[in-house]
Chain A
């Protein structure tokens, strides 16, 4: 069976390292310009180089998004930028604008081009068009069903990449400028103000308000393909993409780790694979929104939409990061990330650490004092952990029974 790629988002270098550590085969990042997440920290040229050096040492890949819809003046500096990132060694660029595609082909013909989901490519003839243009991989529109994905792969033999987790655009990608018209922020150049998450009053064509305690909204639930990974592997999808360049390291590590395990378990023993429902539990806890499979098996309806207010709350499950572990003394040095105290039960997991639980019996601060509560962000503390842990393992509140 061909290897599949787990592709993770990275809004900055720290996120990139965590994504790769926790099992991503590749990451996608945006530069300071030309990317649709204009308000993320993004990567300078030096940081893109550092990202590539780091990833390539691990035999992993870096893709750079150049996925805005270009206005005339936006091409300024693009040619030099393409040359710079090509010379740095990025593995591919993710693009939708046909003018940009042509410029890349002329400037750096060896630079691999992936078609962004912004192109909303959703059928085999469209894929053939882009294949003829020299595109090496298509990120399919999120509106594609399972049958469509299968048919496209079978008929075109194009490498395909599909989103498997994260927030969804409720409109067709690249065809929504609500943000432009309602807030003057350009959605196709990285300034989207997410109008689709607003509440609205709804009126009929006679200007009569539709009365309800629930306001009209377009907000959709997030995507999760967690139960369908084996099916997608069998379809021949080459790359599995997680959305969220602006997500926390905890989210990225948890989601990447979960999908990594599922992919590896299935690839190792397809015939005896059994879906472990704990993985779903983890994803539900980490995400702060409901998630569903969206278009994969059917057209979305009321069950795929949010109406109760998309409450965003910061996740306080993430308790700390292992900085060091003394095997003889069985003492872990940790960096606190959220409140916990003596007596709490916590879970530990990491890229090479199987999940286990412990009870916190003692917390020592940097001065060697025993304390009852770890309350200060990024405080450096020591706790006793009998099982071996590794640097960059994660501590969290228990998710699993």
Chain B
């Protein structure tokens, strides 16, 4: 059965009735989700399926602490650790930690060939990129044994930098940066994009909200294991979760009402992002090259 996995934005949302949560450990995570200190992890584990995000890229001087963290996590009742930096895989393997790893390089999990390589290395779960189409997701599913997490709703991160771009700007214009969250806009795009900056650097998040509720049915039909709902800047997250659960229930009872699904979807927004749209780069000049 498909599971709904939530990236909560606060502790209160951990009470939502979903199948799993992804939360980050402070200073080891750059997903836009709830972050906690490792010392407090046990407070959140009761009767919850928790995946821990450690999806930052690490410098050498962070490796020892990272290794110690992995040692701690091995003995916690978590469902798995999401990584981007392959040093996590390397440390887990070198030390033989019993940790379920999930490949979460958010913009590079784009093909079944790469997912299968990780599967062969023992990483049997992956979070697909929010930048690929529904057809690509289904093609991946049909060609891999890996369990997939598919981002299906919310605003996902689209840029990550080790620079402090907002702070630098404020320094340049001689003003104080008083917050971590700002927004950028340009008349060519006519959309505000959240830009978030903390001690880890700068991240930009998609300004519009991906809504794949209608596409969810195909994911259900194709036995996709998890969908990810991202609560960041979403005010009506309860409604979002409920609507997805309603659609799932329809599917499980074999009573899909497309009019109803459409109506539920309209309540949540109408941007599919890349679910039904391919990006452009260059047409192959010669497929035989």
Residue of B nearest to A124 (CB): B60
* Nearest Cβ on chain B to A77's Cβ, whole angstroms: 5
Within 8 A of A (CB), among B157-171: 158-171
* Nearest Cβ on chain B to A327's Cβ, whole angstroms: 45
Contacts of A81 in B (CB 8 A): 289
Contacts of A45 in B (CB 8 A): 289
**Which listed segment binds B: A64-72, A258-266, A356-364?**
A64-72
* Nearest Cβ on chain A to B174's Cβ, whole angstroms: 9
* Nearest Cβ on chain B to A135's Cβ, whole angstroms: 11
Contacts of B189 in A (CB 8 A): 182
Interface flags for A12-33 (1: CB within 8 Å of B; 0: not) read: 0000000000000000000111
Contacts of B106 in A (CB 8 A): 175
- B43: CB under 8 A from chain A? no
Contact A75 B111 (CB under 8 A): yes
Within the complex, which residue of B111, B172, B185 is in contact with A201, where a contact is CB–CB below 8 Å?
B185
- A230: CB under 8 A from chain B? no
**Which listed segment binds A: B6-14, B72-80, B175-183, B248-256?**
B175-183
Contact B288 A80 (CB under 8 A): yes
C-alpha spacing A186/B108, complex, angstroms: 12
* Nearest Cβ on chain A to B31's Cβ, whole angstroms: 12
Within the complex, which residue of A129, A143, A191, A200 is in contact with B90, where a contact is CB–CB below 8 Å?
A129
* Nearest Cβ on chain A to B15's Cβ, whole angstroms: 25
Within the complex, which residue of A141, A172, A185 is in contact with B160, where a contact is CB–CB below 8 Å?
A172
Interface flags for A183-220 (1: CB within 8 Å of B; 0: not) read: 01110111100000011111111010010101011101
Residue of A nearest to B185 (CB): A201
Contacts of B179 in A (CB 8 A): 204-205
- A323: CB under 8 A from chain B? no
- B173: CB under 8 A from chain A? yes
Contacts of A355 in B (CB 8 A): none
Residue of B nearest to A196 (CB): B159
* Nearest Cβ on chain A to B105's Cβ, whole angstroms: 8
Contact A174 B288 (CB under 8 A): no
Contacts of B172 in A (CB 8 A): 214, 302, 305, 307
C-alpha spacing A180/B169, complex, angstroms: 24
Contact B185 A203 (CB under 8 A): yes
Contacts of A175 in B (CB 8 A): 57, 84, 106-107, 159-160
C-alpha spacing A144/B22, complex, angstroms: 29
Contact A123 B282 (CB under 8 A): no
- A343: CB under 8 A from chain B? no
Given contacts A70-B111, A120-B57, contact A177 B85 (CB under 8 A): no
Contact B107 A177 (CB under 8 A): yes
Contacts of A185 in B (CB 8 A): 279-281
Contacts of A373 in B (CB 8 A): none
Within the complex, which residue of A98, A174, A216 is in contact with B184, where a contact is CB–CB below 8 Å?
A216
Contact A171 B111 (CB under 8 A): no
Contacts of B280 in A (CB 8 A): 184-186, 191
Within the complex, which residue of A32, A69, A121, A204 is in contact with B110, where a contact is CB–CB below 8 Å?
A69
- A152: CB under 8 A from chain B? yes
Contact A98 B118 (CB under 8 A): yes
Contacts of A38 in B (CB 8 A): 281-282
Given contacts A33-B289, A103-B113, A301-B171, contact A191 B281 (CB under 8 A): yes
Contact A98 B192 (CB under 8 A): no
C-alpha spacing A144/B58, complex, angstroms: 10
Contacts of A214 in B (CB 8 A): 172-173
Within the complex, which residue of B91, B94, B206, B289 is in contact with A31, where a contact is CB–CB below 8 Å?
B289
Contacts of A125 in B (CB 8 A): 63, 86-87, 90-91, 94
Contact B57 A32 (CB under 8 A): no
Within 8 A of B (CB), among A201-258: 201-205, 207, 210, 212, 214, 216-218, 220
Contact A300 B163 (CB under 8 A): yes
* Nearest Cβ on chain A to B38's Cβ, whole angstroms: 19
Contact B162 A143 (CB under 8 A): yes
Given contacts A184-B279, A191-B282, contact A172 B161 (CB under 8 A): yes
- A58: CB under 8 A from chain B? no
Within 8 A of A (CB), among B174-212: 175, 178-179, 181-186, 188-189, 192, 195, 202, 204, 206-207
Contact A307 B87 (CB under 8 A): no
Contact A171 B118 (CB under 8 A): no
- A76: CB under 8 A from chain B? yes
Within 8 A of B (CB), among A278-317: 295, 299-302, 304-305, 307
- A326: CB under 8 A from chain B? no
- B274: CB under 8 A from chain A? yes
Q: List 15 A-B contacts (CB under 8 A).
A: A72-B112, A72-B113, A120-B57, A172-B160, A185-B281, A186-B131, A200-B186, A201-B186, A204-B178, A205-B182, A210-B170, A214-B172, A216-B169, A216-B184, A218-B161
Q: Which residues of A contact B (CB under 8 A)?
A: 31-33, 38-39, 44-45, 69-72, 74-77, 80-81, 96-103, 120-126, 128-130, 132, 141, 143-145, 147-148, 151-152, 170-172, 174-178, 180-182, 184-186, 188-191, 198-205, 207, 210, 212, 214, 216-218, 220, 295, 299-302, 304-305, 307
Q: Which 4 A-B pairs give the minimum distances between C-beta atoms?
A: A99-B113, A191-B281, A125-B87, A38-B282
Given contacts A172-B57, A186-B131, 17 further A-B contacts (CB under 8 A): A72-B112, A77-B287, A97-B108, A123-B60, A172-B160, A172-B161, A178-B204, A180-B131, A184-B279, A189-B279, A191-B279, A191-B281, A200-B184, A200-B185, A203-B182, A210-B173, A217-B169
